[in-house]
């Protein structure tokens, strides 16, 4: 198949592009390097050293003999997207090209509006491009389990059967998003469902849990292909933060009581889920929704798992509780269904089998790159504002370049 990976320079996109390329598909990466620019803005960097995308693609071709095409530009720019779709003619579009951080969307008005415009307009452009240029193309869109929130009933996969006043219907599952980012994903889901219904396009909406891990079989071919490991307070995941804090001897910072429960999955399962969706496309006019995670844990359970893993490595790991900067339930019911991808052949990797190798050991290996000041929460849901640390970091690092971020692009889009 010809598969376009939008946002292919990012965490999930990079692993997916390599995986699909290795499987023999013709792959194109579409990216504008905004993710790298956000590192500059926040004064942060991934724990692992990320090479420029041009270097990554050159090394990939060298070690595998396979070429991945590159289109540099913004999906929110319809002229660029139109020219890209015309040139590559994809059979499937994997859409990762969105601002994906809840804290980033909650910094202030500017960041909230940017997140909504970037994500919703970009997805709208993709939908119109499919309708006008590739009506048989299958859209595989990365959603999020955060769209559902934490209802006091079981979470179904996208739809729920409702009986009311003697009548029954199947309706989209109610959404209770917890940030402006999650709201943008809800808007995406509604727009996709609507376009499938009125235009007959085909789409799979993957409501993904929190992803962990840097290593896949493809990344292991060369260290220059290594994936991101974000641990900062804005883009980092709670599990990554705990592993880095353990590696540098800092207490694990649990927000509130730590009962917040979410779904998790290994990056190797992410790429396999994308492959399953590609191999089993939705029907014309169908908007499928799969809940894409394999296990669920509370924040405190994760902290205790990292504590136990650290002790095996002779680390003195402590757990600390901080006031929760988010507006969320710290104790709640959580039971989300996630059987459809397993029924289609997903064989999950479990966190208990990979925590030491994939996370803690990598945090230890690269701990000299850790900036300990980046892990305490700076964004408060209750007080949106221009965060002083972010402003200071933006100014201080505005002129930084270097090999690690030399693919940052500004100005006009290009191929």
* 3-state SS string for the chain: CEEEEECCCCHHHHHHHHHHHHCCCEEEEEECCHHHHHHHHHCCCCCCCCCCHHHHHHHHHHHHCCCCEEEECCCCCHHHHHHHHHHHCCCEEEECCCCCCHHHHCCCHHHHHHHHHHHHHHHHHHHHHHHHHCCCCEEEEEEEHHHCCCCCCCECCCEEEEEECCEEEEEECCCCCCCHHHHHHHHHHHHHHHHHHHHCCEEEEEEECEEECCCCCCHHHCHHHCCCCCCCCCCCCHHHHHHHHHHHCCCEEEECCCCCEEEEEEHHHHHHHHHHHHHCCCCCCCEEEEEECCEEEEHHHHHHHHHHHHHHCCCCCCEEEECCCCCCCCCCCCCECCCHHHHCCCCCCCHHHHHHHHHHHHHHHCHHHCCHHHCCCCCCCCCCCCCHHHHHHHHHCCCCCCHHHCCCCCCCCEC
| Res. 411 pLDDT band, cuts 50 70 90 | very low
Q: What is the pLDDT of residue 399?
A: 42
| Res. 357 pLDDT band, cuts 50 70 90 | confident
**Annotated active-site positions, please?**
144, 181, 185
Mean pLDDT of 29-39: 98
Most trustworthy range by pLDDT among 70-79, 346-355, 392-401:
70-79
Residues 413, 32 contacting (CB under 8 angstroms): yes
Q: What is the pLDDT of residue 125?
A: 98
pLDDT(408) > 90? no
Instruction: Pick the closest to residue 310 from 251, 368, 247, 352 (CA basis).
Output: 247
Q: What is the pLDDT of residue 407?
A: 61
pLDDT(403) > 70? no
pLDDT(394) > 80? no
**Axis crossing angle, helix 109-133 with helix 180-199, rounded to the nearest 10:** 20
pLDDT(250) > 80? yes
In the block, which residue shows the tokens 């085909």? 202
Burial 188-215 (b: 16+ CB within 10 A, else e): bbebbbebbeeeebbbbbbbbbbbbbbb
pLDDT(299) > 60? yes
Judged on CB neighbours under 10 Å (0-12, 13-18, 19+), 42 is: buried
Report percent pLDDT > 90 for the chain.
90
Q: What is the pLDDT of residue 388?
A: 54
> What is the pLDDT of the chain when averaged over all its residues?
94
Q: What is the pLDDT of residue 356?
A: 82
10 Å Cβ neighbour count for 17? 32
pLDDT(121) > 60? yes
Round to whole Å and give the CA distance between 123 and 278: 19
Lowest mean pLDDT among 149-153, 203-207, 251-255, 394-398: 394-398
Residues 166, 208 contacting (CB under 8 angstroms): no
Q: What is the pLDDT of residue 277?
A: 98
Mean pLDDT of 74-91: 98
Cα-Cα end-to-end distance for the chain: 21
Domains along the chain? 2-380 (3.40.50.720)
Q: What is the pLDDT of residue 188?
A: 98
pLDDT(405) > 90? no
Q: What is the pLDDT of residue 122?
A: 98
Does 304 or 386 have the greater pLDDT score? 304
pLDDT(398) > 50? no
Q: What is the pLDDT of residue 391?
A: 58
Q: What is the pLDDT of residue 353?
A: 85
At 361-392, the pLDDT tens digits run 999 999 999 999 999 999 999 998 765 555 55
User: Which are the contacts of 363, defined by CB distance < 8 A and separation ≥ 6?
Assistant: 47, 229, 231, 240, 243, 244, 246, 247
Mean pLDDT of 312-329: 96
Round to whole Å and give the CA distance between 85 and 90: 7
Nearest-Å Rg of the Cα atoms of the chain is 21
């Amino acid at each position: 198949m010809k598969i376009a990976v939008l946002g292919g320079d990012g965490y999930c996109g990079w692993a997916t592009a390599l995986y699909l390329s290795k499987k023999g598909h013709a792959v194109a990466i579409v990216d504008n390097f905004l993710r790298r620019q956000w590192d500059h803005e926040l004064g942060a960097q991934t724990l692992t050293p990320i090479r420029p995308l041009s270097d990554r693609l050159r090394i990939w071709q060298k070690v595998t003999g396979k070429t991945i095409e590159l289109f540099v530009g913004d999906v929110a720019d319809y002229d660029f997207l139109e020219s890209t779709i015309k040139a590559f003619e994809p059979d499937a579009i994997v859409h990762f090209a969105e601002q994906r951080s809840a804290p980033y969307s909650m910094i202030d008005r500017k960041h909230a509006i940017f997140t909504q415009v970037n994500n919703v307009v970009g997805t709208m452009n993709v939908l119109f491009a499919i309708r006008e240029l590739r009506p048989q193309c299958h859209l595989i869109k990365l959603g999020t389990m955060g769209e559902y929130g934490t209802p006091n009933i079981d979470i179904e996969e996208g739809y729920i059967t409702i009986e009311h006043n003697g009548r029954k219907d199947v309706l989209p599952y109610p959404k209770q998003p917890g940030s402006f980012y999650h709201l943008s994903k809800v808007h995406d889901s509604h727009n996709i469902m609507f376009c499938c219904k009125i235009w007959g396009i085909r789409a799979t909406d993957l409501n993904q849990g929190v992803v962990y891990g840097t290593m896949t079989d493809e990344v292991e071919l060369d260290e220059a292909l290594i994936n991101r490991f974000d641990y900062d307070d804005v883009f980092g995941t709670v599990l990554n933060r705990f592993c880095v804090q353990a590696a540098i001897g800092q207490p694990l910072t649990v927000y509130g009581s730590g009962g917040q429960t979410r779904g998790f999955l290994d990056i190797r399962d992410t790429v396999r889920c994308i492959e399953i969706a590609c191999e089993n496309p939705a029907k014309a006019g169908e908007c499928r929704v799969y809940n894409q995670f394999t296990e669920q844990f509370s924040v405190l359970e994760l902290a205790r798992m990292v504590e136990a893993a650290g002790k095996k490595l002779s680390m003195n790991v402590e757990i600390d509780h901080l006031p929760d900067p988010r507006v969320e339930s710290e104790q709640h019911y959580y039971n989300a269904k996630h059987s459809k991808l397993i029924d289609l052949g997903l064989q999950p990797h479990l966190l208990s089998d990979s925590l030491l190798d994939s996370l803690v050991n990598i945090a230890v290996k690269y701990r000299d790159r850790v900036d300990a000041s980046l892990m305490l929460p700076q964004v408060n849901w209750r007080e949106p504002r221009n965060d002083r640390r972010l402003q200071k970091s933006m100014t201080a690092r505005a002129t930084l370049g270097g090999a690690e971020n030399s693919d940052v692009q500004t100005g006009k889009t290009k191929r």
